[in-house]
Copies of this chain bind each other. A is one copy, B any other.
Amino acid sequence: MDESCCCQRHKQRSEEEIRNLTTRLNRIGGQVAGIRKMIEEDRYCVDVLMQVSAVQAALNAFNKELLSSHIHSCVVDDIRAGKDEAVDELCDLLKKTMK
């Protein structure tokens, strides 16, 4: 039954959260398409690089939002359920992804 619990590598998100995350990703995808168009139109490097920086900022914001949601739900639930491997997994993730 428990098909969407953390341990099975799925997570049930609310419709609102899915809509929020999907909207952000659509916008990021649009920004990437915009950069491709700039390259095709021979746009000046500095203008392209500023747009790349904007996409990086949008991805970072997405990353922080999803990470915060993960900690508030999966990690807290797992710790309460005594599944302490969630803590190692979180620290591994941070080690791999933090600059």
Contact = CB atoms under 8 A, between A and B. Distances in A.
Question: What is the copy number of this chain in the assembly?
Answer: 4
A1 interface: no
B62 A39 contact: no
Interface in A1-45: 4, 6, 8-13, 18, 21-22, 25-26, 28-29, 32-33, 35-36, 39-45
Given A29-B29, A63-B52, A98-B60, A93 B46 contact: yes
A40 B11 contact: no
B60 A39 contact: no
Given A9-B43, A52-B62, A76-B87, 6 more contacts: A25-B35, A25-B39, A45-B70, A52-B97, A72-B91, A76-B84
